[in-house]
Structure 1
């Protein structure tokens, strides 16, 4: 896992925790939307890292 993917995972988890700790009664909040955005970016970072990781060795 790349550093950017790890950072995005941490941001997604932290913003989800903020949503559940501060906005228990609301269904949609800004931290929950941020968590979704960070999660999508995390998956994209994993896919990009995997594509780069398995490229043939350049000579």
Structure 2
């Protein structure tokens, strides 16, 4: 896992915890929106961080 993916994961978890601890009855809040955005960025960072090795020599 890359450093950016780990950072986005931590930010998503922290904003999710803030949403659950501060806003119990509200449905859509800024921490929940940021949790969603950081979650999507986490998945994109995981996809971008994959290293695909290409072997041009067929054996």
Report TM bin, short chain. 0.7 to 0.9
Q: TM-score, normalised by structure 1?
A: 0.87
Structure 1: gaps of 5 or more residues: none
Please tell me whether Structure 1 or Structure 2 has the larger radius of gyration of its CA atoms: 2
- Count of aligned pairs: 55
Q: TM-score, normalised by structure 2?
A: 0.87
Structure 1 moving runs of 4+ over 6 Å = none
Structure 2: gaps of 5 or more residues: none
Give the structure with the larger helix fraction.
1
Aligned Cα root-mean-square deviation (Å): 1.2
